[in-house]
Amino acid sequence: MANRKTESGDFTTMRVFLLPVTLAILVTMVGLGAPEAAGAVPQAGALATEPRATEPQATEPQVELLTMGRGDALLHRYGHAAICVVYRRSMERTRCYNYGITDYNSSPQALTWQFLRGTLRFWVDTYRYGRTVRGYRREDRSVWVQLLPLSQAQVNQLVERLKSDLKEKNRYYTYHHFDDNCSTRLRDHIDTVTGGALRKGGSRSTGVTFREMARRGMAEMTWLIVTTDLVFGRRLDREVTVWESMFHPAHLRRAVHLRLGVEPKQLYRRKGKAPPTRGGRGSVPLALLALLLAIPVVATRLWGRFERLALAVPAVVLSLLALILWLMAVASTVVEMRYNEVLLVFWPTDLLLVVLGARRRQWYVRIRMGWLGALALLLLVGVLVQPLWVMVLMVALPCLATARWSLPSPPSPPSPPSPPDAGDSKCYGGPQKDPPCELP
């Protein structure tokens, strides 16, 4: 769509993940506000008059749920959702409500800070039905429609709720990638007017964690998986309930199918290759980084020279990474970033590995190794739940490379000068007593 403030894809989860990613990896920001690329696909045609999911009801208007699939662009990897109030006898009145709108023209720094502070503001706006569907067809993203089986009273209630959201005092909301986004807003409206139909049985576990769901959207983007593993904490490793899973448009579509008995009809099928959902693991590049940090320390120790210089590399890298993660956790009000078990692994104090002398450095290494051993034990018994093993390895390998079985002996204090012989002192200027000194 022409207006860059519109969703035109999804902002669901992925965009918000990208913002702290840039801060965590580079500290300085990179440009995330570039225009979104659109796929070259056939024109949609007169979509506003295309047939709907089921036979027309006698009531007017009707309400349809639109869910969009994944696209090629980075920001399209999680799909999108909108809800449309359809007037078949007057298509000019038909409008689709889109809750995925924010000011994408804002600087990455501003968006990142708003995310960290939990003040990232989104809002709802309306668009014509045909324009909405054509936009996603141009991006070569599959589009499904489900005509909600609502009574006239339920339709009227839902329409009033949607209109109320358009009021200036109601249209803005604080975005959260799991708890309050374009899909959860629709879920809540549909659940309310259907008497809790979507919430029934919603406390059951899906058997999948938030982290696993997030990784599916960035399958081949290993660098992004690495960063989210570092930045986002233990909540992502909790299994998602059926109700919570509807933050994802595909799960919302499935829930409407199962709970309301409305099978989705596909208005448009993607022509390009589907984006991957598997591949890319954050543990592999982190393990390689752990080896790269440890090898120079091992080499210089065997050589017997420049050991402190080689130790400066892992010390600076680990300390800088720890400082970034700790600052983000302190600054953020987002629960996924504040309660992050990675903070137990990375300490800003690891710079002491270079600053301390040989004996104190060995004491520090022993403290770190003991702490890492305790973390490993907590991981084994399930107290810690995040994927921390490779991160523990990142710190443990440089420490092991510089560790020694025995502590260096402390430097001996300088010996005091020996006092002169008492007899000599008497004969060579010292205090003399009777009888006088006799020289041979």
pLDDT in tens, 26-52: 332 332 323 333 333 333 333 333 434
* Lookup result for tokens 């990896």: 25
Q: What band does 110 get if pLDDT is binned at 50, 70 and 90?
A: confident
Q: How far apart are CA 89 and CA 228, in angstroms?
A: 48
Work out the pLDDT band at 215, boundaries 50, 70, 90: confident
Sign of the dihedral through C-alpha 120, 126, 131, 132:
positive
The 3-state DSSP composition of the chain as helix, strand, coil percent (nearest 5) reads 50, 10, 40
Can you tell me the mean pLDDT for 394-422?
71
- If one compares 435 and 401, the residue with the highest pLDDT of the two is 401
As a whole number, mean pLDDT of residues 16-35 equals 36
DSSP-derived secondary structure letter, 244? G
Q: What distance in Å separates the CA atoms of residue 70 and residue 217, rounded to the nearest whole number? A: 9
pLDDT per position as a tens digit, 191-210: 999 999 999 999 999 999 99
Task: Give the pLDDT confidence score for residue 329 in this predicted structure.
Answer: 93
Task: Kindly indicate the confidence band of residue 413, based on its pLDDT and cuts at 50, 70 and 90.
Answer: low
27-31, 124-128, 151-155 — which is least confidently predicted?
27-31
Nearest-CA neighbor of 218 among 232, 208, 228, 209? 228
- pLDDT above 70 coverage of the chain, percent: 78
Helices (H), 273-430: 283-303, 307-331, 335-338, 342-345, 352-355, 358-381, 389-402, 422-427
* pLDDT (mean) for 3-30: 40
- Both structure tokens of 134: 């054509």
The DSSP element (H or E) to which 209 belongs, if any, is strand 205-209
Rg (CA), the chain: 33
For the chain, percent of residues with pLDDT exceeding 90: 53
pTM score, whole prediction: 0.78
Q: Which residues of 281-312 are buried (b: 16+ CB within 10 A; e: fewer)?
A: bbbeebbebbeebbbbbbebbeeeeebbebbb
pLDDT of residue 416: 65
Look over the chain and give the mean of its residue pLDDT values, rounded to a whole number: 81
In this predicted structure, which of 10-24, 147-161, 262-276 has the lowest mean pLDDT? 10-24
70 versus 344: which is more confidently predicted?
A: 344
Is residue 402 within 8 Å of 314, Cβ to Cβ?
no
Distances (CA, A) of 232 to 2, 235, 326: 33, 8, 12
Q: Which amino acid is at 258?
A: L
298-329: pLDDT as tens digits: 888 888 888 888 899 999 999 999 999 999 99
Binning pLDDT at 50, 70 and 90, where does residue 137 land?
very high
The tens digit of pLDDT for each residue in 56-105 reads: 445 689 999 999 998 887 777 889 999 999 998 877 789 999 999 888 77
What pLDDT does residue 54 have? 44
Q: Which pLDDT band, with edges at 50, 70 and 90, does 406 fall under?
A: low
Query: CA angle, corner 74, sides to 327 and 268, nearest 5?
Result: 145
Kindly tell me if the per-residue pLDDT of 173 is higher than 80: yes
Instruction: Please give the pLDDT value at position 186.
Output: 97
CA-CA distance, 226 to 15, in Å (whole number)?
A: 16
Least confidently predicted of 120-129, 288-297, 380-389, 397-406: 397-406
Joined tokens for residue 93: 């009145």
Q: Cα-Cα-Cα-Cα dihedral of 126, 129, 130, 136, to 10°?
A: 70
Rounded Cα gap, residues 315 and 317, in angstroms: 6
Query: Which residues are CB-contacts of 343 (< 8 A; sequence separation ≥ 6)?
Result: 322, 325, 326, 329
Helix (H, G, I), strand (E, B) or coil at 268: strand
What is the reported pLDDT for 98? 95
One-letter amino acid at 54 equals T
Confidence class for position 106, pLDDT limits 50, 70, 90: confident
Alpha-carbon distances, residue 165 vs 92, 156, 158, 320 (angstroms): 21, 14, 11, 44
Instruction: Name the least confident of 54-63, 108-117, 128-137, 366-375.
Output: 54-63
Give, in order, the Cα–Cα distances in Å from 353 to each of 314, 318, 363, 372: 9, 11, 10, 16
Q: Which residue has the higher pLDDT, 430 or 113?
A: 113
Most confident segment among 76-80, 247-251, 272-276: 247-251
